[in-house]
Amino acid sequence: MNDLLLMCMVAGRRAAIPAIRVQSVIEIEDITPIPGAPAFIRGLTALRSQALTVIDCSVALGFETAPAPPDQRAAVVEIDGHLYALLVDAAYDVGEALSDPIEVPGGFGAGWQAATRGMVETDGGPTLLIDVEALVSGPVSQAA
């Protein structure tokens, strides 16, 4: 496969976002809540005078949100002309997929099954390959 990936931690698991989809990795400071928005949409933040919808990846996967660290990071992606900041536990490297995606084994939960394109081998070991559109769509229960 040999695609470049942004290596990150999401909901305590090793995950990756295709690097071609990532415009930048930013540190999130201020998030303005959106009244009535689903829980996985944390709110809005700004990047160079542009509004970004902040997606809590853990909640979008069906897990509870964790307290935000002081240096919370997000991968900025674009979908259909809209910018999203995908909150991750950590973003730490860019690496290569050393294999094609395989099916995600059981035990990861329905959220990971729905929001990934599979699992790939990397220098750091097996890694869940995030499907950006599926993750931004929100929890499985809302997508159904």
Split the chain (144 residues) into runs of 10 and give each run's mean pLDDT: 88 95 94 95 93 95 77 94 95 94 88 93 95 90 46
How do 82-88 and 13-18 pair as beta strands? unpaired
pLDDT digits (tens, 9 = 90+) for 123-138: 999 999 999 999 999 8
Quick one: pLDDT at residue 143?
43
Cα atoms in the 13 Å half-sphere on the side-chain side of 51: 7
What SS3 state is found at 95? strand
Quick one: pLDDT at residue 1?
60
Q: Which residues have CB under 8 Å from 51's CB, separation 6+? A: 44, 45, 83
* DSSP label at residue 60: H
* Best CA proximity match to 115, nearest among 97, 99, 136: 136
Q: Is the pTM of this model over 0.85?
A: yes
| Strand residue runs (E) in the chain | 4-10, 13-18, 22-27, 41-47, 50-56, 73-79, 82-88, 90-96, 116-122, 125-130
* Pair 61, 139: CB distance under 8 Å: yes
User: What distance in Å separates the CA atoms of residue 136 and residue 78, rounded to the nearest whole number?
Assistant: 10
* Best CA proximity match to 38, nearest among 65, 13, 20, 77: 65
